[in-house]
Chain A
Amino acid sequence: MLHDSASAIPLRIEGLTFRYRARPEPAIQDVSLTLEKGELLLIAGASGCGKTTLIRGINGLIPRTYRGDLQGRILLFGQDARAMSMAQLSQIVGTLLQDPERQIVGSYVLNEVAFGLENLGLPRQEIRERVDEILSYLGISHLRDRETFYLSGGEKQKVALAGVLVMRPRILLLDEPLASLDPVSAREALALFRRLADEGISIILVEHRVEDVLTIHPDRVLFMQDGRVTYDGPPDQMTEAVDYRQVKLPAPLTVRRAIHAPPPVFEPTIRPNGREPLVVFENVSFSYSEDSPLVIQDVNMTIHQGDIIAVLGPNGAGKTTLVKHAIGLLKPRRGRVLVEGRDTRELSVAQIAHTLGYVFQSPGHMLFAPTVREELAFGPKNLGFPKERIAEGVNRAIETVNLKGLEDYPPLALSFGQQKRVSIAAVLAMRSRILVMDEPTAGQDYWNYMAFMDSILQMPGFDAVLFITHDLDLAICYANRVVLVSEGRIAADGPPAEVLKDPDLLRRCRIVPTSLLRLNLEALPHTGQFLRAEALAHALPPQVLETLANHL
């Protein structure tokens, strides 16, 4: 068998079905696919479609770590994967997990990259050569002696990838590699994946941000739905076969498809009325200590009633620092922040919570109570609300975020999307006037986060909403005001159609224009405002639409 392994197909999956031991339904059913040498295969699909299970099957975690019923065969270079040891598998299949933070084992870049080779027991000299070679290949030799903990998200991912590639796998599995990257880093990562494939590594790239991946021209696309493969073929024919609401397609394609669907109904409950200033930043500058560099500087900004603000900018620009000043978790070093007219220095975070409710990026950072009801009552109780008012607020919040029937469930046993809704409800129950969200789309797929944003913004109870994001399209679809943050300063502040029309400004702020932005800019004379792709399909006269779609 071994002698012809070089000519054999890297990966062949035949009729793979797997059911996790604790679940009644199979997670994937009758999946078959082949992967050629140097082929870049995109697997797209919404959460729960079976992408991750498939990856675990290929890299051997199924059935070794995850147990259950497995049928079908996985052949790696003609050999049955089940007959191989993990050490053998690890030299053929390399896996980059979704969150590089959780994949890194070593405290230093060197240790991290050398770890796999140490496991294989290679001689020291060879480890040295291979580590240096892979670091320079990925262009990160300068990180060699750095501590992994202090790297940026993009750097962490490259280091994790180096640790995988150093084992010279011939198949590379990438599980949502773009999830924690900002657009510029994502674009770099994608270019790197293309290069690896061109040099002969077979790659499976699992991602729901299809639009981004299409820019590097995957050789083939596989679309999965409910554990089955519903499309397997070239990318240019995929668009007709996949559901444009489940994965993010380029905007012109979505528009073309959405013409035949009923127009979307989206009416945000927040309307610009009264323009009462709720939070005022006056010349705010901040640094973590007296002599360290300023993280934000000279920020002037007012949050009015009726604002739906997207705070947009690359990772590390100071977006979160800015917002933490509004909720009083940080106090300015210079200047001041006024919340409903009072300086945050004189207020406790709890007092500010009456005005601003902050939803952290990961619901796991706040959920702890044994039931949803107790979880929601925690905030109002801390704020000293009377009993009846707490009960009433909790009930209203449960109804608003549509968690009825789950009141007595433990929040930690809910799905990620439900947990996210519990964390919003926890803010609702405190009756904060402004909802503040940090990366509301993080950890959710396209379908889920669009539905989530739709429901949050159509829900009564808030005077203003502010969200931090590096996703340009999210700002286009939902915000009525964009605050562009770059290197600790506010680079622009205004309606999306004004702020985002300047390509030079976007480039300076490390924001990559998307197809939706280009389409909206072209359509602006007809629409007068930015719209999501589905809405554009119905807002434009058909002939205009046709020219635009062809033009792009």
Chain B
Amino acid sequence: MNIFLYLDENTWFHRLDSRTKILGVLLLFCMAMVFNHPLYVAGFALGLVWLAAAAKALPNFWRVRYLLFLLVAFSTLLWPFFAKGPTPLWSWGRLQVSRESLLYAIAMGLRLASFVGAGLIFLSITTNEEFTQGLIRLRLPYPIAFAFSTALRLVPTFAGAGATIVQAQISRGLDVESGNIFQRAGKFIPLAVPLFIYAIRHTNMLAMALESKGFNPGAPRTWYYDPQMRRADYLVLALLTALFLGMLSLRLQGYGQVLPRL
């Protein structure tokens, strides 16, 4: 079982600097926000799929296919009731669905899927270490970056302990699957308490290990990793920025919108 989404490939995208990856995914998020016409958003989403294929990240898309599908489906079903448009298609009492609101809904579904997709590509090509290192290079204070990377490092450890705890309590007859939500909440106590205690003990030991290696978050330090921004990195950032500005100006001229809102 692998909890993280990183895929250990060696594509051109994997080799980008982590700063480029972080800024790049932020730009992709912004781009996803620009249009609200389903055709335009679909075009952007297709671009993302191409990007995912080039970065060999498609296996992760496959892993979350149900989530992506549900996002699009629910958004398409629900948004029409909240967005109002001028051309009514169907109405029932106070509920009303217009042509524009339906199109808007589809666009919103695709936009959400694009968000998830952009994030997935990022996580597929970035290790936790790179991510932290990138944050540090982008001037995030070291103690915060360290806490962040340690938290990431402990996720699989705690998940493993959690799985063992679940098995231990199931073998004592705990039935985690039946009952209503309140009964279920009560059943989490036998799982939560041991996990909590485990986490406290573990972090206590870790603190000692850190100290005995001379760790001092305030002191100046060096890094083994030495990421370098190369020409490809500047190229990618320039390209993405240009693309974003181009899309923005299209939208400001009135293209790619079904409703005059975000």
Contacts and interface: CB of A to CB of B under 8 A. Distances in A.
Q: Say if A and B assemble together.
A: yes
Interface of A: 59-61, 64-65, 86-87, 89-91, 93-95, 97, 99, 101-108, 110-111, 114-124, 127-128, 131, 149, 163-164, 167, 288, 324, 327, 329, 348-350, 353, 357-358, 360, 364-369, 378-379, 381-383, 412, 426, 430
Interface string B161-198: 10011011111111100000000000001111110011
B193 A368 contact: yes
B206 A102 contact: yes
B231 interface: no
Interface stretch (B36-44, B212-220, B235-243): B212-220
A350 B164 contact: no
Interface string B147-172: 00110110011000100110111111
B181 to A, nearest CB: 19
B205 A107 contact: no
Contacts of A116: 213-214
Contacts of A117: 222, 224
Contact of B208 (A97, A366, A368): A97
Nearest to A114: B224
Nearest to A381: B173
Given A105-B150, A364-B197, A124 B223 contact: yes
B259 to A, nearest CB: 45
A203 to B, nearest CB: 16
Contact of A329 (B170, B189, B220, B223): B170
A97 B169 CA distance: 29
Contacts of A149: 153, 156-157
Contacts of B220: 121
Contacts of A378: 172, 174, 190
B55 to A, nearest CB: 20
B185 to A, nearest CB: 15
Contact of A103 (B173, B209, B222, B224): B209
Contact of A108 (B129, B156, B198): B129
Interface of A is mostly: helix
A91 B214 contact: yes
B165 A86 contact: no
A122 B172 contact: no
Interface in B41-74: none
A107 B128 contact: yes
B222 A122 contact: yes
Given A366-B165, A366-B168, A379-B172, A95 B194 contact: no
A382 B175 contact: yes
Contacts of B207: 65
B137 interface: no
Select the residue from A99, A106, A116, A149 with max chain B CB neighbours within 10 A: A149
B210 interface: yes
A383 B169 CA distance: 12
A476 B61 CA distance: 53
A93 B212 CA distance: 8
A121 B165 CA distance: 40
B8 to A, nearest CB: 9
B197 A430 contact: no
A406 B192 CA distance: 24
Contacts of B98: none
Given A349-B170, A426-B172, A107 B153 contact: yes
B94 interface: no
Interface of B: 1, 127-129, 149-150, 152-153, 156-157, 161, 164-165, 167-175, 189-194, 197-198, 201-202, 205-216, 219-224, 226
B149 A366 contact: no
Contact of A60 (B1, B157, B210, B212): B212
A350 B173 contact: yes
Given A102-B205, A149-B156, A327-B171, A124 B219 contact: no
A90 B170 CA distance: 44
B212 A368 contact: no
Contacts of B223: 118, 124
A105 B208 CA distance: 11
Given A102-B209, A163-B213, A366-B194, A118 B222 contact: yes
A349 B171 contact: yes
B178 to A, nearest CB: 11
Contacts of A107: 127-129, 149, 152-153
Contact of A118 (B168, B212, B221): B221
Contacts of B194: 364-368
Contacts of A329: 167, 170-171
A353 B165 contact: no
Contacts of A383: 173
A167 B223 CA distance: 15
A369 B168 CA distance: 14
B237 to A, nearest CB: 25
A110 B209 contact: no
Nearest to A167: B213
A116 B210 CA distance: 8
Given A105-B210, A329-B167, 19 more contacts: A60-B211, A65-B207, A101-B157, A102-B209, A104-B209, A119-B213, A167-B213, A348-B175, A349-B171, A349-B173, A358-B171, A364-B194, A364-B201, A366-B168, A366-B169, A368-B189, A368-B193, A368-B194, A430-B172
B212 A106 contact: no
Contacts of A120: 214, 221
Contacts of B161: 365
A87 B216 contact: yes
Which of A95, A99, A382 has the most C-beta atoms of chain B within 10 angstroms of its own C-beta? A382
A121 B224 contact: no
A360 B168 contact: yes
Contacts of A128: 224
B164 A365 contact: yes
Contact of B211 (A86, A368, A369): A86
Nearest to B193: A368
Contact of A127 (B150, B157, B222): B222
A103 B207 CA distance: 9
A60 B211 CA distance: 9
Nearest to A378: B172
A2 B192 CA distance: 52
B164 A124 contact: no
Contacts of B212: 59-61, 86, 89-90, 93-95
Q: By CB atoms of chain A within 10 A, which of B150, B153, B156, B206 has the most?
A: B153
Nearest to B167: A329
Nearest to B202: A102
Given A121-B221, A378-B190, A61 B226 contact: no
Contacts of A86: 211-212, 214, 216
Sorted nearest first, the 7 A-B pairs with minimum C-beta distance are A382-B173, A368-B193, A90-B214, A114-B224, A102-B205, A350-B173, A116-B213
B10 to A, nearest CB: 12
Contacts of B171: 327, 329, 349, 353, 357-358
A105 B222 contact: no
B158 to A, nearest CB: 11
B211 A61 contact: yes
A104 B209 CA distance: 8
Nearest to B211: A86
A155 to B, nearest CB: 15
Contacts of B224: 110-111, 114, 117-118, 124, 127-128, 131
